[in-house]
Amino acid sequence: MNKEFFEKIEQAAGRDNVKYNEPMSAHTTFKTGGPAKVLITPKDEMTIKEIIRICQENDEAYYIIGKGSNLLVSDDGIDGVIIKLYRTMDDVVFHKNSMEMATADLEDKELAKVSEVTKVKVSAGAGIMLSKLAKELLDRELKGFEFASGIPGTLGGAITMNAGAYGGQMADVVEKVYAIDEQGNEYELSNEEMNFGYRHSLIMDKNLIVTKVDMKFEVGEYNEIKAKMDEFNGLRREKQPLEYPSAGSTFKRPEGYFAGKLIMDAGLAGYRAGGVCVSPKHCGFVVNDNNGTSADVMQVMKHVDEVVFEKFGVHLEPEIRIIGEW
């Protein structure tokens, strides 16, 4: 990276939106990770395209992240550019005609609630937090997103990995996904074209960047929606180690098994490396409970996979994204 590169980046993104040698421990929920040479918060899709173009022309690596809630960054940091979408591109649009149709004073409201007339179209930017979107939907009495209200990530990241919980997943609510590729080409992908699977989507396969999502929700009752959100969030607090930094579920669920149970049955509850351990409260979580490092996280993950494979013949695939030099 040279002075000319930095000048181009600042011109494209705005000086106030560019940070240098920024510790990634401040941008991941693990609270670990060394400095990124450059961290940019773009204001819109055009800025993302321009930043990517500048990086490509200068042969500089770049990474797209949301809130960093599913991310492990090397302690050596990132010798490249981080493009962070959290707290930007977070607008929500409730389409007026759709809302009017859904809330019309129909003679048979019970019939209306199970008919297509109650489907409300909602568009949201990729940078919005799932919790914020869930609150906006609750305020308009729209149901179907309660499962996501406690997931600590952005909409773009959730779409990319088809995040889910408590019987729901992003694939259930998506109508269309807007994305761009590394050449700046724009995509409009239907639910079917997204090829959603367990913690998987076309976005991963094609290395695309989600910019906006169209979703559809049914009209419900405020108190019922709120009660379900409270129930799910209560279960999270009861069963998950939310008091410590983590990246949520560390491993994907192996087919026919549950990662947390395999880890518990392998006798690994509480297994520790440095300041990081397998949570005794929920063995599917690796937590940073004592100022641990990314290297500590990796050591725990590696040991857990080795022991589980030795005992049960099952490899555990990381659910978290791992970037940087190791």
3-state helix, strand, coil in the chain (%, to 5): 35, 25, 40
Number of helices and strands in the chain (H, E) = 10, 18
Q: How many angstroms separate the most distant Cα atoms in the chain? A: 68
214 Cβ contact list (under 8 Å, min separation 6): 121, 122, 123, 174, 175, 176, 177, 178
**222 to each of 21, 136, 325, how far by Cα in Å?**
45, 11, 48
Q: Count other C-beta atoms under 10 Å from residue 43's C-beta.
A: 13
Consecutive H or E run containing 252:
none
Catalytic residue from among 246, 249, 279, 294: 249
Catalytic residue among 140, 199, 236, 253: 199
Question: Which amino acid is it at 205?
Answer: D
The structure tokens 């300041």 sit at 275
Question: Is 199 labeled as catalytic in the residue annotation?
Answer: yes
The helix (H) or strand (E) run that includes residue 287 is: strand 285-288
Is 25 a catalytic site residue? no
Q: Is 296 left (phi over 0), alpha (psi -120 to 50) or beta?
A: alpha
319 as an active site residue: the answer is: yes
Q: Are strands 62-65 and 78-84 parallel, antiparallel or unpaired?
A: parallel
Catalytic site positions: 199, 249, 319
